[in-house]
Structure 1
Amino acid sequence: MSDAFAAYVAPIALAVLFAFLIAWSVVRIAIAYAHRRGMLDQPGQRRSHTIPTPRGGGIGIVVAILLTIPVSLCERSSPWPVHVVIALMLATSMIAAIGWWDDHRSLPALPRFGVQLLAVALFFASLIAGGPSWLWLPLWVLGGTWSVNLHNFMDGIDGLLAQQGIFVATGLTVLAWAIGQPALAGASACVAASCVGFWYYNRPPARIFMGDVGSGTIGLLIFGLTAMVWRIDWLAVWPALILSSAFVTDASLTLLIRIVRGRRWYTAHREHLYQWIVRRGHTHAVSAAWYLGWNVLVAAPMAALAFEKPRMGLMACIVTYAVAAVVWIFAKHRLVQRDRYKVRYVHT
């Protein structure tokens, strides 16, 4: 390894290492803090765990990100504008703060949604300033706000959201490096490393849950990093979106069905596919393995195809989400039907 290359990579590698160590350390402290403050998620009909478990462990991810991502994005070979870095960190802090507050004392939906919209709008306004048309802003703001909430919806069993964060952020790291953006690659790698630090305590059986402070932050960062990839190379957005196909499909279809059936979509429930897998008697680890299997066997190869053949990127993205929807519908139908059969069998 040449001295020039070592000097080029060393700051990013150091930031990634620190991201893991900071997250790991802060989550350990958060466990004791949650017990002391009584921040425990109790088992219930609409929950998938069976014992009281601390929440708010996502604060470790937040602290790690706030301390390491700015270092990565300011890496001298491909630095991002200072106003973009500041806006991203400010938006992250806003999402984390409202989530941390909600983890301590439940907040109404409207204030949380308002802060989310403001934070997302702030970041994307900085991202497109002096570049693409401002007509992109409403689309990105809606998408970013949905990402914040869908990752919150998908944080319901041990290890799942942390696992997804590791996968998507790692994929974005490879993608950013491939389009010549080592600073963005380093930032994405810091997100992945911080998720690994949290996952150590959240893997089944979980010692602590992420809470809104972490799930909202991951949702913002995954969408934000995807948008930053788009800002550099718009064709690379298709493989970036493919990486998130498992969570986007599950959360979107579940929400759509609940709305169509006239249910209060914003209330707690156990209707996501991963929750149905657990309801059928499988462990949290098995449910998470379903999503890992999709990511490794479908999302990763399709993302690679979309990147290697840019003209096919949009079609690859459409096909991936179409297949994901078919798989979701089929799997959900089988799980629900088996549950109904089990209930009828017990009653007879």
Structure 2
Amino acid sequence: MLDQPGQRRSHSAPTPRGGGIGVVVAVLACLPGSLLWLPPSLPSATVAAASIGLVLVAAIGWWDDHHALPVLPRLAVQLAAIGLVAFAFIATGMAWAWLPLLLLAGVGSINLHNFMDGIDGLLAQQAMFVMLAMAWLAWREEQAALAAAAGVVALACVGFWVFNRAPARIFMGDVGSGAMGYLIFVIGAMLWRTDSALIWPVAILCGAFVTDAGWTLAGRMWRGRRWYSAHREHLYQWLVRKGAGHGRVGLAYAAWNVLVLAPLAWLAWHLKEQGWWVCAVSYLLTSGMWMMLKRRCLRREPYRVLYVGS
């Protein structure tokens, strides 16, 4: 499977895609054992639901990598995968009222990370950052099983990043990007189940991707475009189009994560239930930076013409 260059692509040479299957296989080999054998272990039904859901999301992504699928079949499988995890949570005491929110957040995470997988190494490094940070949060909360599970995903992403960093020798494909969005949601939701206040640092850690995807898609919907179709309007794509290399753009996202979002996530974790206001501040700061950089990308006339016509 070769991903060919094109008007809505950010690479210039045919590159194999679908390499994310390696991450999925590695995680499936190690994740269940981490969650079942380390203390405090999770219920077997929850672990089984999470594993089956990962297989479903990866399988529909692999199929889409081979043969383009319409939106509805992909959405149905993604809802089924998230639904399995949500029902496992409900079976262990979660209120039914949370079901719609979990479905929305889970499917949103899968597709958000798929949208953000557009340049070399960006999604792999984002998953490494978020998973390592969630492993630290779990460890501080004395959740060794969740810490190991997040660490497993992070290490699998490190192995893939070696081949995916700029210039990429292989792309993750939908099989990997969807799986990364699913895993970030599932492990984040498991942390939330142990302590509801952990939702704030987890949300902060995901802020760079959520802001870029959220504002970009909101703009496309406002202009009446098909938000789910391929495009090059995300900030990271604009930065590449303006002349920054894939590696430099990835480094900029990593710097924002480490220098801004990580300290704010620590503060939100330290404040517990009061962490909501730190989360709000982090998204205000990230949105402000996004708007400033996007405005700079649009300042020159050639890029404004490309933006209008894309």
TM-score, length-normalised on structure 1? 0.86
CA distance in 1, matches of 2:141, 2:193: 11
1:292 aligns with 2:254: yes
Aligned CA distance change for structure 1 residues 267 and 80 (closer, same or farther; 3 Å): same
CA distance in 2, matches of 1:279, 1:103: 25
Aligned CA distance change for structure 1 residues 79 and 249 (closer, same or farther; 3 Å): same
Residue pair 2:65, 2:175 contacting (<8 A) in 1 also: yes
Match of 2:153 in 1: 191
Residue pair 1:170, 1:189 contacting (<8 A) in 2 also: yes
Secondary structure, in 3 states, of the residue corresponding to 1:74?
helix
Aligned CA distance change for structure 1 residues 341 and 261 (closer, same or farther; 3 Å): closer
CA distance in 2, matches of 1:221, 1:319: 26
Match of 2:298 in 1: 336
Residue 276 (structure 2) aligned to one of 311, 314, 334:
314
> 2:92 is aligned with what amino acid?
G
Residue 90 (structure 1) aligned to one of 49, 52, 60:
52
1:133 is displaced (CA, Å) by 1.1
Match of 2:111 in 1: 149
Alignment of 1:219-230 (within 5 A): 219-230=181-192
Aligned-residue identity in percent: 55
Residue pair 1:87, 1:123 contacting (<8 A) in 2 also: yes
Secondary structure, in 3 states, of the residue corresponding to 1:77?
coil
CA distance in 2, matches of 1:162, 1:283: 17
1:122 aligns with 2:84: yes
CA distance in 2, matches of 1:223, 1:215: 13
Match of 2:144 in 1: 182
CA distance in 2, matches of 1:89, 1:146: 19
Aligned CA distance change for structure 1 residues 315 and 342 (closer, same or farther; 3 Å): closer
Secondary structure, in 3 states, of the residue corresponding to 1:304?
helix
Unaligned runs of 5+ in 2: none
1:44 is displaced (CA, Å) by 0.6
Instruction: Choose 235-244 or 146-155, whichever is displaced more.
Output: 235-244
Alignment of 1:1-348 (within 5 A): 39-338=1-300, 340=302
> 1:290 is aligned with what amino acid?
A
Aligned CA distance change for structure 1 residues 286 and 339 (closer, same or farther; 3 Å): farther
CA distance in 2, matches of 1:132, 1:339: 53
The root-mean-square deviation of aligned C-alpha atoms, in Å, is 1.3
1:342 is displaced (CA, Å) by 8.8
Residue pair 2:298, 2:304 contacting (<8 A) in 1 also: no
CA distance in 1, matches of 2:287, 2:249: 17
CA distance in 1, matches of 2:74, 2:164: 25
Question: Per-residue CA shift, 1:196-216, capped at 9, x if unaligned?
Answer: 010010010000000000000
Question: Per-residue CA shift, 1:105-133, capped at 9, x if unaligned?
Answer: 11111101111111111111112323221
Secondary structure, in 3 states, of the residue corresponding to 2:261?
helix
Residue pair 1:73, 1:80 contacting (<8 A) in 2 also: yes
Question: Per-residue CA shift, 1:96-155, capped at 9, x if unaligned?
Answer: 000001111111111011111111111111123232211001001100000000000000
How many aligned residue pairs are there? Answer: 306
Residue pair 1:75, 1:183 contacting (<8 A) in 2 also: yes
TM-score, length-normalised on structure 2? 0.96
Residue pair 1:40, 1:55 contacting (<8 A) in 2 also: yes
Residue pair 1:280, 1:339 contacting (<8 A) in 2 also: no
Secondary structure, in 3 states, of the residue corresponding to 2:37?
coil
Question: Per-residue CA shift, 1:263-282, capped at 9, x if unaligned?
Answer: 11111100000000000011
CA distance in 2, matches of 1:290, 1:321: 17
CA distance in 1, matches of 2:162, 2:198: 31
CA distance in 2, matches of 1:275, 1:65: 29
The structure with the largest alpha-carbon Rg is 1
Residue pair 2:138, 2:147 contacting (<8 A) in 1 also: yes
CA distance in 1, matches of 2:282, 2:8: 30
1:343 is displaced (CA, Å) by 7.1
Secondary structure, in 3 states, of the residue corresponding to 1:131?
coil
Unaligned runs of 5+ in 1: 1-38
> 2:18 is aligned with what amino acid?
G
CA distance in 2, matches of 1:341, 1:49: 18
